[in-house]
């Protein structure tokens, strides 16, 4: 209830509901106020809390003669309060006229909402069964001398439920209900949050632990897939229960095949070609050990090596080699004489249509003497003088030496690169080319 303590004749009238507000925890004490201007002229009315331990948001109301304003007055303590009843004085006054006010006393019953209700679940002693619906009982006890009607109960966390209850002063009520626990829920302790409230206050917001029982369902399968030069074995371990399972798995391999076998999970222990694993499975967990024995890779490597050897001899290693040597006779004025030797070696089977081409740099004279075979064709090109020999066939392991001599008197500054010689020839139906080494001369 509220009391007016003013002795001033004020043009303000006020009614409040409830007459005594209950405050829980950190909530404010809330009153529904009906404020009326009973004066003879329009007014602007406001209020101020007279108690230094309480406060309220200030509002202003512009009211014509006889007009009412309805609003919620929320009284908020400025410090922590112990449980008990408090009387707070609030002065309502005119903001336009001096000495036009009226004081009202508001009674607040301050309660600790953590101690208003107690909650307890009654379940099967072995815990909740995660494979079917369970029957539970929620027991609520009112520890205060206040009637609590039409309370909303909301359960969340492990399962979801909501219903309504009423509690008499210092009374107890029990609510029986069913709840389904998902079969994938592992065994253990789980929180269920119990929230009890009405339209204005929260009376209980607490977590209660409930135990989920355990059940086992372990399945082991073996799958074998045989393919060309490859065998795949899958050892599948399935824990379809809701508790942890540790399982020993063993698999034996032959003395030869073990060298060509790989594992998706490395074994923990190997004894006499028996491979052992210790598989730790959580609830609803599946693990697979894939054992693959394959001879494909070794065979592929062997074929690849053979192919590389063939390609090397076929395309990289030339059957015919050509070596170019240049001997010089030097004087004070330069190089007086040069002897060029071209050594051709056939390192394989017989070849046909052998052709040899060599070039002489433009600053050097034409050869004056050929020791063995004269070139079939001699002509000038942009690279110098081209010497072309048509040698013909070359037997297996046969070697030919072509040489010529040049009389010259060339002053060389630094080094001069002599062009490479090359040969072309037929091996079967294909034509191949071999190039000689590079040669550099100097007059020093």
Domain 114-212 homologous superfamily, CATH: Immunoglobulins (2.60.40.10)
Opening angle at CA 356, ends 352 and 357, nearest 5: 150
Q: What is the CA radius of gyration of the chain?
A: 54
H-helix or E-strand spanning residue 93: strand 84-94
Task: Return d(Cα 55, Cα 295) in angstroms, integer.
Answer: 86
User: Which residues make beta-bridge pairs with 148?
Assistant: 167
Q: What is the pLDDT of residue 309?
A: 72
Q: pLDDT truncated to tens, each residue of the chain (444 aa)?
A: 455 554 456 789 999 988 888 787 678 899 999 999 999 999 999 999 999 999 999 999 999 999 999 999 999 999 988 888 899 999 999 999 988 999 999 999 888 666 789 999 999 988 998 878 899 999 999 988 778 889 999 999 999 999 999 999 889 999 999 999 888 888 889 999 999 998 877 889 999 999 998 877 788 899 999 999 899 999 999 888 778 888 899 999 988 888 899 999 999 999 988 999 999 988 778 999 999 999 888 888 888 888 887 676 655 567 899 999 998 888 777 777 889 999 999 988 899 999 999 998 877 788 888 888 899 999 988 888 899 999 999 999 899 999 999 877 666 666 778 889 999 999 888 888 999 998 888 776
Fold of 320-441: Immunoglobulin-like (2.60.40)
Q: How far apart are CA 11 and CA 241, in angstroms?
A: 76
**101 vs 429: CA distance, rounded Å:** 124
Q: What is the pLDDT of residue 414?
A: 64
Q: Per-domain residue ranges for the chain?
A: 2-111, 114-212, 218-296, 320-441
Q: How many CB atoms within 10 Å of residue 346? A: 21
Query: Sign (positive/negative) of CA torsion 191, 197, 202, 204?
Result: negative
Taking the CA of residue 8 as centre, how many other CA atoms within 13 Å lie in the half-sphere pointing to its CB?
16
Assess contact for 194 and 119: CB atoms under 8 A: yes
CB atoms within 10 A of CB 296: 12
pTM, two decimals, is 0.41
Q: What is the pLDDT at residue 317?
A: 61
User: Alpha-carbon distance 213 to 124, whole Å?
Assistant: 9
DSSP string, 143-204: -SSS-EEEEEEEEEESS-EEEEEEE-TT-EEEEEEEEE--TTPPSEEEEEEEEEE-SS-EEE
The CATH architecture assigned to 2-111 reads Sandwich (2.60)
- How far apart, in Å, are the Cα atoms of 17 and each of 31, 70, 268, 346, 399? 6, 11, 75, 120, 125
Same fold, 2-111 and 320-441: yes
């Amino acid at each position: 209830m509220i009391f007016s303590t003013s002795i001033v004749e004020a043009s303000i009238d006020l009614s409040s509901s409830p007459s005594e507000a209950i405050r829980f925890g950190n909530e404010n004490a809330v009153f529904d106020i009906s404020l009326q201007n009973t004066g003879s002229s329009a007014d602007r009315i406001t209020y101020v809390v007279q108690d230094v331990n309480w406060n309220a948001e200030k509002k202003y109301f512009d009211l014509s003669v006889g007009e009412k304003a309805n609003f919620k007055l929320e009284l908020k303590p400025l410090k922590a309060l112990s449980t008990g009843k408090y009387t707070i004085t609030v002065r309502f006054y005119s903001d336009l006229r001096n000495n036009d006010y009226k004081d009202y006393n508001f009674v607040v019953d301050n309660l600790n909402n953590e101690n208003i209700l107690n909650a307890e679940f009654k379940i099967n002693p072995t815990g909740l069964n995660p494979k079917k619906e369970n029957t539970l009982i929620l027991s609520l006890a009112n520890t205060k001398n206040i009637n609590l009607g039409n309370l909303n109960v909301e359960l969340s966390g492990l399962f979801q439920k909501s219903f309504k209850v009423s509690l008499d002063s210092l009374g107890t009520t029990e609510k029986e209900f069913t709840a389904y626990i998902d079969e994938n829920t592992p065994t253990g302790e789980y929180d269920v949050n119990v929230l009890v409230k009405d339209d204005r206050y929260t009376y209980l917001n607490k977590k209660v632990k409930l135990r989920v029982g355990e059940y086992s369902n372990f399945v082991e399968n073996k799958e074998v897939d045989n393919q060309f030069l490859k065998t795949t074995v899958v050892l599948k371990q399935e824990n379809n229960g809701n508790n942890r399972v540790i399982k020993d798995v063993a698999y034996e391999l032959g003395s030869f095949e073990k060298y060509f076998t790989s594992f998706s999970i490395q074994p923990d222990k190997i004894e006499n070609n028996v491979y052992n694993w210790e598989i730790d499975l959580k609830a609803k967990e599946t693990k697979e050990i894939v054992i693959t024995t394959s001879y494909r890779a070794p065979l592929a490597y062997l074929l690849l090596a053979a192919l590389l050897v063939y390609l090397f001899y076929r395309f990289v290693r030339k059957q015919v080699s050509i070596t170019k040597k240049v001997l010089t006779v030097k004087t004070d004025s330069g190089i007086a004489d040069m002897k060029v030797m071209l050594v051709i070696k056939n390192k394989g089977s017989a070849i046909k249509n052998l052709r040899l081409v060599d070039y002489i740099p433009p600053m050097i004279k034409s050869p004056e003497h050929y020791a063995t075979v004269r070139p079939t064709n001699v002509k000038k090109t942009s690279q110098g003088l081209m010497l072309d020999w048509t040698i013909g066939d070359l037997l297996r392991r046969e070697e030919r030496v072509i040489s010529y001599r040049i009389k010259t008197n060339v002053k060389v500054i630094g080094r001069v690169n002599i062009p490479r010689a090359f040969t072309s020839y037929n091996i079967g139906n294909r034509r191949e080319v071999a190039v000689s080494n590079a040669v550099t001369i100097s007059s020093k």
